[in-house]
Amino acid sequence: MISLSKDFDLLTLTATELQGFLERKEITSELLVDLCLSQIQKHNREGMMLNAIIATVPKDQALEAARKLDEERAQKGPRGPMHGIPIIVKDTLCSPTLGVDTTCGSFALKGAKAKKNAAVLDALLRAGMIILAKTNLSEFGGMKQALMTGGWSAVGGQTQSPYVRGGVQPNCTFLGHSTPAGSSAGSAAGVAAGFAPVSIGTESDGSLVQPATRASLYGMKATLHTLDTFGIQPISPEFDSAGGMAKTVEDLAKTMDLLQEGKDYTSHLTSFFKGLRLGFVDPELWKAADFVVEPNKDFDVQNLAAMNAAISKIRDAGARVVQPVKLVTLEETMEEGGEDIDELMDHDFKVSLKEYLSNFENPSNVYGLEDLIDYNKEHADLELPPEHPNQDVLIGALNSNMTDQQCKERLAITRHRATSAIKKSLAENEIDVILGPADSRIASVAAAAGFPVATVPLGLADFNGRAFGMLLISPENTEAKMFEVMSAWEATLGLGNHLQCS
């Protein structure tokens, strides 16, 4: 009989620490899975009522997978550093072998059966990870309704942040201070609440890093086209990627190593700033628009003070710091023949969604965008409730009049303007990474360029407890450098998961 120590707390324990417990035989993966599933049962629909999980893998199946991995560990040793570790994944990853639906938050896919797992899911399973649950999200990755509250879906309801006192407020903006942000809201809230030590989210434009920020986690969206996105609900192949969320940089690095096969980001966790070259944008120029995050002067003062304090510590720790640095705005990427990335995504979504849905056998006969729109109209009581009554983004994507050639040309201009301007700023300032407020559109600029983007925690708002942080952007395939910065951030500033509820 295993007796757990008093310091065994799912809210704070990391995947690396849990691996230590497993190696010392102080716990089994089977017991760990049982504890995590109990935490989900305690706080998903009850307790904190987070609505972070849409569906859990059948308990018997999850426990059996854990038992087999325990036996394998005893007989052969672990497959790697994530062997026997639980994980939760966004409910856009096809998962037929798990015995749970993949709904993308929509009743239109409830009961639909995918024919093949998402490639990312299989990579996790090969590494010996135990997938516990599918997480809630902004329905169809936010592609249903303009300004839809972050983390809401018809199937999952409204995801709540475990940090925010009082939950999502009725008068908030769609990514307002009380929201968990989106679209990968459940993946973030679930890790913060101890449902699993790490999670997988996806992102086209901010959908991973912003929820990770709101959960005081470290998160990263990988460089475009550097991981296999088969079986992940798409928006556009020219913007879609995936990544991990974790309480520590080490856990995030180990997760990203699995997603981007052949990488070894853990070897870049240097934990010091000396020799690193960083630029910070002017935070006054990179605030969220009022319709995105409602203004709060007290929060702005606290956020700015926390940024300045962090910059001072980073400079004292030996980094080269340049502030402010120029970062191209999203509006500037649209000039001289460029295009709003939302319009480019709308054009691609119709074809991309049809390809994705072809991997399903669906009793609702929803196999394309027009089918989905019709389904929502016919089931308005489920899909178009009073608080989210329309599907204007879906309709706009269906009616996009941009031709394939126009999209290709405008994307090329937009991407060139974004990549060249970012690299020019890095070169002129002799820096490697640019940082700025996480609520800003820095993630959108990264999306326009196809560059990786990551988030680091900075603090908790005095007025409602929401977590806030900063985003990092750097050129394609420079995730290793980002991990150097993130590990130094964690070691120097000591910031991360603060949750104390149980």
pLDDT tens-digit series, residues 299-332: 999 999 999 999 999 999 999 999 999 999 999 9
Place of tokens 């309704």: 145
> What does the pLDDT average to over 108-121?
98
Write down the H helix ranges in 166-296.
185-192, 209-214, 249-259
Work out the pLDDT band at 466, boundaries 50, 70, 90: very high
pLDDT at 36: 98
- pLDDT over threshold 50, residue 502: no
Q: Do 149 and 158 meet the contact criterion of CB atoms below 8 Å apart?
A: yes
Give the rounded percent of residues in the chain with a pLDDT score beyond 70.
Answer: 98
CA–CA gap between residue 74 and residue 97 (Å, rounded): 25
> Which pLDDT does position 7 carry in this prediction?
74
Q: What pLDDT is stored for residue 370 in this prediction?
A: 98
Does 498 or 333 have the greater pLDDT score?
A: 333
Q: 360-361 and 113-114 as β-strands: parallel, antiparallel, unpaired? A: antiparallel
Q: Phi/psi of residue 438, each to 5°?
A: -70, -25
Residue 288 three-state SS: coil
Given a contact cutoff of 8 angstroms between Cβ atoms, the answer to whether 222 and 479 are in contact is yes
Residue 497 is predicted with a pLDDT of 60
* pLDDT greater at residue 318 or residue 499: 318
Tens digits of residue pLDDT in 333-384: 999 999 999 999 999 999 999 999 999 999 999 999 999 999 999 999 999 9
Is pLDDT of 146 > 80?
A: yes
Enter the tokens of residue 62. 């999850």
SS (H, E, C) 418-470: HHHHHHHHHHHHCCCEEEEECCCCHHHHHHHHCCCEEEEEEEECCCCCCEEEE
C-alpha distances in Å from residue 172, one per residue of 149, 215, 296, 303, 348 = 8, 18, 12, 19, 30
Give the residue from 89, 88, 85 showing the smallest Cα distance to 27.
Answer: 85
Conformation bin of residue 245: beta by default, left when phi > 0, alpha when psi is -120 to 50: beta
Write the DSSP string, 43-88: HSSSTT----EEEEPPHHHHHHHHHHHHHHHHHH--SSTTTT-EEE
Q: Taking the alpha carbons of 47, 50, 53, 55 in that order, is the dihedral positive or negative? A: positive
Render pLDDT for 223-274 as a digit per residue (tens, 0 to 9). Answer: 999 999 999 999 999 999 999 999 999 999 999 999 999 999 999 999 999 9
Residue 416: its pLDDT value, please? 98
Query: By the 8 A CB rule, do 295 and 303 touch?
Result: no
Provide the angle, in degrees to the nearest 10, between the axes of the packed helices 59-76 and 29-43.
150
As a whole number of angstroms, the distance between CA 171 and CA 294 comes to 9
**Are 233 and 356 a contacting pair, CB within 8 Å?**
yes
Q: How far is CA 300 from the centre of its chain?
A: 24
Contacts of 240 (CB under 8 A, 6+ apart): 202, 203, 204, 224, 229, 232, 234
pLDDT, mean over the chain = 97
pLDDT digits (tens, 9 = 90+) for 39-77: 999 999 999 999 999 999 999 999 999 999 999 999 999
For residue 199 the two structure tokens come to 């999670």
Q: What is the length of the chain?
A: 502
The whole-number pLDDT of residue 499 equals 53
Question: If we measure between CA atoms, which residue out of 141, 218, 155, 147 comes closest to residue 179?
Answer: 147
- For position 501, what pLDDT does the model report? 41
